[in-house]
Amino acid sequence: MKDEIELTMKTERVAVELMKDVELTQSDIARLILETIELLGDLPRELTRLELINLLRDTLRAGVEVMKSASQTVTLSEAAWASVEARKNLRPASLRDLRHFIRRILRVEDVGELSLRSMTTAQCRHILAEAFGASQSSYVKGRAVLHSVFAYGIRQEWCDVNPVTKIEVPKVQENPIKPLAPAEVDKLKLAARRPEHRDMRFSLSLLLYSGLRPAEVSRLQMSDISWEEQIVIIRPQVSKTGGGRIVPLRGVQGLRQEDCRIPRDWERKWHALRHAAGFATWQADACRHTFASYHAAYFRNIPELQLEMGHRDATLLRSRYMAPALKKDAVVFWRGAGL
């Protein structure tokens, strides 16, 4: 009995010595151990003393790793701009667009300093509603951008989950855009024949009769034109979607090959041409929609049109680009192809 008492006293002295630099009493430590055992549920049941010690040690180590991981995070603002920097090789227009959406996200009050790791789906939903709630298409784009910030954060181990994943993507109703009427096409052609706009004639033919996007025309190199095979090669670095395609070179009748150039300051010249043609307002990609609608009405070949437009399937083509067009208007459009 005396030996047991002496052993107990010795053990208590060792415990006191071990804990002399920790501001916790033995009762504090006992309570923490009991709480841990309770939280572990059935795991400690029927364990020996040594097994229980090992279980508590493993639990402590796991908890420490979680706490360390939780401290290794950044703010939403830091993560957002770091994700932009990681994509600095995007095309200038795409990078400009990305920065614009990041700024709109961070303009929401008090969100920039939020810890990326601790952010919730509810907070992300609030950010999207505040920043993009007025426009469904902007909301979808903003959601994609915010999702990409968290995806980048996960790769950098700044957070463990992407709370944006649980936010549903609203279905955007795409409204078909009416093709330009033959008389409107003629206005553009007449304006392009004026001396001050003649350097845009080739560009206009590519927009109307090859279905290129304005940005694709502005980036085009003359080496991408095959006059012998009468085709235009849209390389991945030129295409909006990053996929290459080949389209027929149409509508260049009456143009000398040496006059077929893409002028500098293309955006300004394209705006000036539309203004000269009498268009006070302009629907984005109106020429591309005109091409698709009249191509479908005249050639009746959806697979071919899909290839020329560079679409993976015909869904977007049918829902957005192929506005109903009269066959007689399509005939006028294609038989009058040329600048």
Cβ neighbours of 35 (radius 10 Å): 10
Cβ neighbours of 282 (radius 10 Å): 13
Predicted local confidence at residue 205, as pLDDT: 94
**249-256 mean pLDDT:** 84
pLDDT per residue as tens digits for the range 154-186: 999 899 999 999 999 987 666 667 899 999 999
Q: Which residue has the higher pLDDT, 336 or 208?
A: 208
Closest CA to 212 of 192, 176, 182, 238: 238
**100-126 mean pLDDT:** 95
Interatomic CA distance for residues 310 and 316, integer angstroms: 11
**Burial letters 112-147, b for 16+ CB under 10 A, else e:** eebebbebeeeebbebbeebbeeeeebbebbbebbb
Interatomic CA distance for residues 263 and 203, integer angstroms: 9
Q: Which residue has the higher pLDDT, 218 or 22?
A: 218
Q: Which residue has the higher pLDDT, 113 or 324?
A: 113
Q: Which residue has the higher pLDDT, 31 or 173?
A: 31
Predicted local confidence at residue 314, as pLDDT: 64
Query: Percent of the chain, pLDDT > 90?
Result: 49
Highest mean pLDDT out of 1-10, 202-211, 246-255: 202-211
Residue 59 has pLDDT above 90, yes or no: no
| Banded model confidence at residue 44, pLDDT cuts 50, 70, 90 | confident
**55-69 mean pLDDT:** 74
Residue 7 has pLDDT above 60, yes or no: no
Predicted local confidence at residue 17, as pLDDT: 64
Q: Which residue has the higher pLDDT, 59 or 223?
A: 223
| Banded model confidence at residue 60, pLDDT cuts 50, 70, 90 | confident
Predicted local confidence at residue 244, as pLDDT: 83
pLDDT per residue as tens digits for the range 189-211: 999 999 999 999 999 999 999 99
Three-state DSSP string of the chain: CHHHHHHHHHHHHHHHHHCCCCCCCHHHHHHHHHHHHHHCCCCCCCCCHHHHHHHHHHHHHHHHHHHHHHHCCCEHHHHHHHHHHHCCCCCHHHHHHHHHHHHHHHCCCCCCCCEHHHCCHHHHHHHHHHHHCCCHHHHHHHHHHHHHHHHHHHHCCCCCCCHHHHCCCCCCCCCCCCCCCHHHHHHHHHHHCCHHHHHHHHHHHHHHHCCCCHHHHHHCCHHHEECCCCEEEECCCCCCCCCCEEEECCCCCCCCHHHCCCCCCHHHHHHHHHHHCCCCCCCCCHHHHHHHHHHHHHHCCHHHHHHHHCCCCCHHHHHHHCCCCCHHHHHHHHHCCCC
Query: Percent of the chain, pLDDT > 70?
Result: 85
| Banded model confidence at residue 20, pLDDT cuts 50, 70, 90 | low
- Model-level pTM greater than 0.85? no
Predicted local confidence at residue 258, as pLDDT: 82
**Ranges 64-73, 139-148, 217-226, 323-332: which has the least confidence:** 64-73
**Burial letters 154-185, b for 16+ CB under 10 A, else e:** eeeebbeebbbeebeeeeeeeeebebbebebb
Mean pLDDT, the chain, as a whole number?
Answer: 86
